[in-house]
Amino acid sequence: METAFEVLAEPRRREILDLLRTGERVVGELVEQLPLSQPTVSKHLKVLRQAGLVEVRQDAQRRWYRLRPEPLAEIDSWLRPYRQMWEQRLDALQQHLDSRDEPWNPNCR
């Protein structure tokens, strides 16, 4: 089974997750929003489901897919130190720019 990072490396799967952020959707709604065929969307949903990133509920003939936030929270937790590192570097850059005597002019080189 693929890890969440491997699953999320596919841009179309990230697009599907973006669409599911707003709530449950059936496959047909996803197909309408994506430049993909129904079988392709279904295959991506299967991979997302196997990775635990989405879950499905059956309602008569319709299958409703929704985002599972728990695995994404784990990824967010893993990324936190990297985000902090970049924030510190950006803060240092901002302090450096603020400490310059003259205002920065993008037209001067």
pLDDT by residue (tens digit) across 37-59?
999 999 999 999 999 999 999 99
Name which of 66, 70, 42, 40 is nearest 54 in CA terms: 66
Name which of 13, 80, 11 is nearest 52 in CA terms: 13
pLDDT by residue (tens digit) across 23-35?
999 999 999 999 9
pLDDT by residue (tens digit) across 57-96?
999 889 999 999 888 888 888 888 888 888 888 878 888 8
pLDDT of 1 over the 60 cut:
no
Angle subtended at Cα 18 by Cα 12 and Cα 23, rounded to the nearest 5 degrees: 130
pLDDT of 5 over the 90 cut:
no
Would you kindly state where each structural domain of the chain is located, as residue ranges?
4-68
CATH classification (class only), 4-68: mainly alpha
Contact at 8 Å (CB) between 71 and 52? yes
pLDDT of 22 over the 60 cut:
yes
